[in-house]
Chains A and B, each alone.
Chain A
C-alpha cells in the first residue's frame, strides 16, 4: 500500500448532442426570451485594432457530408498578440466567439480581427492563430484545432513544426480567397483529415 494521491480525475465528456444550440446559442432555435443576447456573438467590437478577416468553412464528416448541426467556439489574441485580460490588451477584443454550421447549408462564418504572434513560455513565438473547439452530435469529446493563415509566416511555429507528415500542415492553414477573406474547412475523418490537438 502507499499513501493516496489527492488529485481528482476530470469529469468525463459526453456529446453536446443535436440540441447543443439550446444551451449555447439559444436564439439559433428561436429561444430569445431568456437571455437578451446569445453569448459569444462576436469576438470583437467596432474599433478593434488590426485587420478584419472573415473565415468561412464547413465541418465535414468521413463521408464528405457537411454537418448541419455543428457548434464551434473560437478563442484568440488581439492584433498585438495579447489575450483578453492581459495588461495592454485591446479592450475592443473579447477574443471569444460561438458560431454554428448553417442548418440548411452547413456553412459557418467567423468574422474577427487577425491575431498577432503570441509568446511561448520558454522563448520563441507562435504564428498568428485562432483556437477552435468543435462540438456536435456524434462528437464524444470536443475537438480542438487551430486556424493559421496562409499569408503569415508559419515556418517557425512550434506546433506546426511537430506535425511529422508535412502534407497535413495545410489542414490547419486558412486559404486566402480575397481581401480579408479566408476559407477553412474542418475534416473530421478521411482524406485530408484535420490535425486535431491535445494541448
Chain B
C-alpha cells in the first residue's frame, strides 16, 4: 500500500553529525552534504514484525534475563508512552527495542569494564510492539549513571537507549530517554549534541505518578515521534495541473 512520500527529514530536529565536544563524533562525521531526494519505495517500505516474535518476558527487563527465575537489582520503574508520526497519528504494531546499563551503571557487554558489578539477574535489553493505538510499555530498573572516556571526567546521565522502526525504513530512529530532574543531563556532551533545548527536553521523561503502581513501581512517560508521510489530495496528480 502506498502511504505517499515521507515528509523530508527536518534536520533541525536532530544533532549535527559533527560535534567537537563529543570526541568520537569528530572522525566519524561525514563532511560532505547528504544527497537529498524524494523518498522512493526503498525508504517507504520497511520490515514488519508480528507479535508472534515476542516472548512472554520480552518487555520486562527485571525478569527477562533469567526468564523469571530471579529479579534484577534496582529501583523498579515502568516506562511507557506512545509512538506517533509527524502528522500526530499513532504508529501501531511497530517494534520498540530498548537497552540500558544496570542499576550500578554497568552494561553487560564485552567492551564495558567499569568496576560497578554486573547483576547476575540483569541482561539489559527488551522489546515490545506497539498496540493498535501506538502505546507501548516496559518494566525495568532505573539504570545508573556511568563514567565514559571523553573529557577527563564525563558521566552519562541515567538513560535508556531506544530503537524504533515505524512502517518504513526511512523512519528508522535510535535515541535515548533521560529522566526528569537528573543534573547530569546538562553536563553531558552527548545530550548536548542536540542544539535545540526544546528538542532535548523531548528526550526527558517526566515522572508519571498516575502511571505508577502503589508499593510496586514508579512510572516515566516517554512519547516518540517518527517521520510521517506527506498526504495531500493532489498527491497522485503527476504534473500538478
Which residues from chain A sit less than 8 Å from chain B, CB to CB? 6-24, 26, 29-31, 33-36, 39-40, 61-63, 65, 67, 69, 73, 75-77, 83-86, 94-96, 103, 118-122, 126, 129, 131, 133, 135-144, 146, 158-159, 162-163, 168, 188-190, 193-199
Provide the bound-state CA to CA distance between A70 and B36, in Å.
24
Residues of A within 8 A of B78 (CB): none
* Main SS at interface, chain B: loop
Q: Which of the residues B65, B87, B202 comes within 8 Å of A12, measured between beta carbons?
A: B202
Per-residue contact bits, chain B 148-169, to A (CB 8 Å; 1 contact, 0 not): 0000000000000101000001
Closest Cβ–Cβ distance, residue B238 to chain A (whole Å): 6
Residues of B within 8 A of A7 (CB): 86-88, 228
- Apart from A8-B86, A77-B41: 19 A-B pairs, beta carbons within 8 A: A10-B86, A11-B13, A11-B203, A14-B15, A15-B193, A17-B161, A20-B161, A23-B98, A31-B124, A31-B125, A33-B66, A75-B42, A83-B41, A121-B41, A122-B238, A159-B37, A197-B37, A198-B8, A198-B35
Q: Which of the residues A21, A34, A96 comes within 8 Å of B58, measured between beta carbons?
A: A34
Does any Cβ of A come within 8 Å of B183's Cβ?
A: no
Q: Which of the residues A14, A21, A67 comes within 8 Å of B176, measured between beta carbons?
A: A14
What are 7 inter-chain pairs, A to B, with CB distance below 8 A?
Answer: A10-B10, A13-B173, A14-B174, A14-B190, A76-B42, A121-B40, A138-B28
Q: Interface extent on B, as a size class?
A: 35 or more
Closest Cβ–Cβ distance, residue B167 to chain A (whole Å): 9
Provide the bound-state CA to CA distance between A6 and B89, in Å.
11
Whether the Cβ atoms of A189 and B110 lie closer than 8 Å is no
Whether the Cβ atoms of B17 and A141 lie closer than 8 Å is yes
Name the residue on A nearest B67 (C-beta).
Answer: A33
Whether the Cβ atoms of B108 and A193 lie closer than 8 Å is no
Closest Cβ–Cβ distance, residue A55 to chain B (whole Å): 17
Residues of A within 8 A of B5 (CB): 121
Whether the Cβ atoms of A94 and B47 lie closer than 8 Å is yes
Whether the Cβ atoms of B37 and A10 lie closer than 8 Å is no
